[in-house]
Chains A and B, each alone.
Chain A
Amino acid sequence: MLSRFVMQHALTKQSPMIVLARGAALLPTSDKHPERDLVNFPRPKRLIDPEPVRHTCIPERWFEFFYPRLGVTGPYTFTFGLITYLLSKEIWVVEHDFGYVMASVIIVGLGHKLFGKQLANYLDKEIAAEEEQDDAARNDKLASLKGAIENELWNQERSKAQAVLYEAKRENIQMQLEAVFRERALFAYQQVKNRLEYQAALESIQRRISQKHMVSWVVSHVLKSITPDQDKQSIKKCISDLKALAARA
């Protein structure tokens, strides 16, 4: 009971969203940290396209570096001039491995020209599939966490309804107590009534018996007190009365 009470209070006091937000703000690398400098140190982002290049692998920036100094042909002039210089001074020595340089440049160039597009399309598809898979896993996790948060909030709402439920239960119990009380009061009333009725009946029976006894006692004494003379006289009187009656009828 106490644990439930404590939990209810804890749940109503702080929502999980608040707790989560506070936790995220406390992470040292959070963007919400008060000391965070997002202007000079924005979040690093993964590039979609790589740095632009010319001739499959020479960075475009190098050509841009040459453009204001030597013009459009500048980088080519510089490169071929440098190569010519290195070759003519034999700093770049033409020995028996020199052919491999030419061969590799030609192979790479041809490969790029003939199969570059196909390979790029195939690899792009592979990467897209892989990314889709990763995103699906991530989105599933996000959805499940969102569901968990919603469930949590819903449970909090339900816990608020607990108070109403307890009130209803309390009322219910009060009603039951009241019903039992009334039932028992009725029972007590009936028991008392029964006892009183019993007493009344007992008294009336006693009175009846004593009355009956008294009557029989009086009758027996009266009968005892009648002498045979009196009996004869009364019979005579009766007969005379009957005769008188008969004469009249």
Chain B
Amino acid sequence: MGFGDYPAEYKPQVHGPYDPARYYGKPDTPLGQVKLGELGSWFGRRNYSPRAMTAATSRAFWRWNHKYILPKKSNMAGTLHVLFGLSLFFYVINYPRISTHRIMRYH
């Protein structure tokens, strides 16, 4: 599997046209339905390789894209997500400098 290839689990004859928002591997329990006790083992089962992380980010991006940008009558929400997301991102990367502007000293 090189750059630009489909995931190894994707089989066109079974899955049909490729959906970049979809995970084609064996699905685990969704994070929202995991019991607190099983959380450790759930995170233990995750794949932290750079490739898997990139794929997960890409899927998340495509899920968001399908929901907010690509619909026929898409509204301002997607654009605002990008705007506020960028604001937040730059706030975070500039945080070391911004945090020096704190006024209060004793809390």
Hey, which bits of chain A sit against chain B, CB under 8 A? 28-29, 31, 33, 35-38, 41, 43-44, 46-51, 53, 56-57, 59, 88-90, 93-97, 101, 104, 108, 112, 116, 120, 124, 127, 131
B101 touches A56 (CB 8 A): no
Residues of B within 8 A of A53 (CB): 75, 77
Q: Whole-angstrom distance from the CB of B22 to the nearest CB of chain A? A: 8
Residues of B within 8 A of A97 (CB): 98
A46 to B65 CA separation, bound complex (whole angstroms):
11
Q: Whole-angstrom distance from the CB of B77 to the nearest CB of chain A? A: 4
Q: Could you list some 12 contacts between A and B, CB below 8 A?
A: A28-B13, A35-B14, A37-B15, A44-B22, A50-B74, A51-B67, A53-B75, A90-B103, A95-B98, A96-B101, A97-B98, A127-B72
B17 interface residue per 8 A CB criterion: yes
Give which listed residue, B67, B84, B103, contacts A57 with CB less than 8 A: B84
Residues of A within 8 A of B16 (CB): 29, 31, 36, 38, 41, 43
A59 to B75 CA separation, bound complex (whole angstroms):
12
Chain B interface residue count, Cβ-Cβ cutoff 8 angstroms: 35
B80 touches A41 (CB 8 A): no
Residues of A within 8 A of B73 (CB): 48-50, 120, 124, 127
B12 interface residue per 8 A CB criterion: yes
Q: Whole-angstrom distance from the CB of A114 to the nearest CB of chain B? A: 13
B71 touches A48 (CB 8 A): yes
B12 touches A29 (CB 8 A): yes
B13 touches A57 (CB 8 A): no
B102 touches A56 (CB 8 A): no
A47 touches B75 (CB 8 A): no
A89 to B102 CA separation, bound complex (whole angstroms):
10
Give which listed residue, B13, B18, B75, B83, contacts A50 with CB less than 8 A: B75
Assuming the A-B contacts A47-B72, A50-B68, A51-B67, are A29 and B17 also in contact, with contact meaning beta carbons closer than 8 angstroms in the complex?
yes
Q: Whole-angstrom distance from the CB of A101 to the nearest CB of chain B? A: 8
B68 touches A93 (CB 8 A): no
B70 interface residue per 8 A CB criterion: yes
A172 to B9 CA separation, bound complex (whole angstroms):
68
A60 to B72 CA separation, bound complex (whole angstroms):
19
A57 to B68 CA separation, bound complex (whole angstroms):
10
